[in-house]
A = this chain, B = another copy of it.
């Protein structure tokens, strides 16, 4: 917990986090791959003095269900390409790209990260994911996704290799002195010669050490392996959110894990994910939430709920109740926790539309600017959060409203900055520059 609340603006899809947010009147779905749309989002985030922009990613198109093609605005530009473009139309905001350590090579990632950090003046970040869909594996020569714990072992080694490559050159090793003709100091150059279980990488990297030393590393803490990797290597973690007590538990657990890994308790900044829907009045915010809910066609509701509960509901009527416990064989479940199923088991029959509305509403934080600011303060002061990854059900309208109504309130209360200072992204997160090899 700190006085200052960190803000990350999350773009799940170009149209927002809600599955049909692209239908919102403020959206521009025909521009999801063009710079104009993303420039507006990034510049609005910068107007709100967000610490970072944060782009989700997946290495596949979700064509598992027909309605996913018909109705789901799931096209995305490649994150680093987009962030590099945005680096030239923004000046201070962080630029965080989601990177799969399962389907990438560390040499490419280290180089791209270092390049973005140089070109943006110390604003690059990466969000480590391990990719879990079979569709992703099949775009990279595999049949099914790799076992969860193996993916995290690879992720762990990936971080080591990337950091090692980023340290190829000591900070002052690039002399670039035209008079003497000395370009680089040999004693400031380090070959990596990494030989691990997953990677063999010689190095050195052909870019100089970037402004942040190591660009900021995000992770999403979920599973046991994910939490351990984050506690050991991440600079910041975003987590599901939930109640103040849920956040407190998560924070205490992750801080204890960081200490067990020999790091300080605040070495990892913890940012629960929140999805505000902002209104002038509370009733206005609820109406807006209902309006977003109503954007989803019935076919997509059926397939979305099928996906959530792991059972096929296609062909049903979205408004006819079904009894999960009665209708499906759940005797041999190996599913990960699915809140929608727990709700169905607890409450008995429900319609698919009910399940959809329930699971959608529980992820929302609807209210006025001051109400949302109150909640941010509570999750920070009582929950121990360092900041928030702010999701928007639709874009760009969702971030416009947030910056117009919530940010001024947070600023008035002295909880977020009113202007950028002259720090790198890493420093803004309270982390010093990682020293080079010569200074450890």
Q: Which of A66-74, A268-276, A321-329, A424-432 contacts B (4 or more CB under 8 A)?
A: A66-74
Of A35, A61, A116, most buried by chain B (CB within 10 Å of CB) is A61
User: With an 8 A cutoff between CB atoms, is A313 at the interface?
Assistant: no
Contact pick for A202, options B135, B186, B203, CB 8 Å: B135
User: With an 8 A cutoff between CB atoms, is A149 at the interface?
Assistant: no
Q: Say yes or no: B69 contacts A105, CB within 8 Å.
A: no
Over the window 163-179 of chain A, the binary record of Cβ atoms lying under 8 Å from chain B Cβ atoms (1 yes, 0 no) is 00000100000101110
Contact pick for A208, options B33, B87, B174, CB 8 Å: B33
- Look across to chain B and name the residue whose beta carbon is closest to the beta carbon of A182: B70
User: With an 8 A cutoff between CB atoms, is A98 at the interface?
Assistant: no
How far, in angstroms, from A34 to B190 measured CA to CA in the complex? Answer: 22
- Give chain B residues whose Cβ lies under 8 Å from the Cβ of A2: none
How far, in angstroms, from A114 to B75 measured CA to CA in the complex? Answer: 12
Q: Which of A23-31, A212-220, A251-259, A342-350 contacts B (4 or more CB under 8 A)?
A: A23-31
Copies of the polypeptide in the assembly: 2
User: With an 8 A cutoff between CB atoms, is A405 at the interface?
Assistant: no
User: With an 8 A cutoff between CB atoms, is A205 at the interface?
Assistant: yes
Q: Which of A138-146, A236-244, A361-369, A396-404 contacts B (4 or more CB under 8 A)?
A: A138-146
How far, in angstroms, from A205 to B27 measured CA to CA in the complex? Answer: 23
Q: Say yes or no: B206 contacts A58, CB within 8 Å.
A: yes
Q: Say yes or no: B33 contacts A138, CB within 8 Å.
A: no
Size of the chain A interface, CB-CB below 8 angstroms = 80
| A window 176-195: CB within 8 A of B | 176-178, 181-184, 186, 189, 191
- Give chain B residues whose Cβ lies under 8 Å from the Cβ of A295: 181
User: With an 8 A cutoff between CB atoms, is A159 at the interface?
Assistant: no
- Give chain B residues whose Cβ lies under 8 Å from the Cβ of A184: 69-70
- Give chain B residues whose Cβ lies under 8 Å from the Cβ of A140: 105, 107, 201
Nearest CB on B from A189, distance (A): 6
User: With an 8 A cutoff between CB atoms, is A376 at the interface?
Assistant: no
Known: A29-B176, A59-B107, A71-B181. 4 other contacts (CB 8 A): A60-B206, A61-B206, A82-B119, A142-B200
User: Which 6 A-B pairs give the minimum distances between C-beta atoms?
Assistant: A84-B84, A29-B176, A138-B202, A88-B88, A77-B115, A33-B118
Could you write out 10 A-B pairs with CB less than 8 Å apart? A20-B181, A29-B178, A59-B107, A59-B206, A60-B206, A71-B182, A77-B115, A80-B81, A80-B84, A82-B84
Interface residues of A (CB under 8 A from B): 20, 22-25, 27, 29-30, 32-35, 58-61, 63, 66, 69-78, 80-82, 84-89, 103-105, 107-108, 111-112, 114-116, 118-119, 121, 135, 138-142, 168, 174, 176-178, 181-184, 186, 189, 191, 199-208, 295, 297
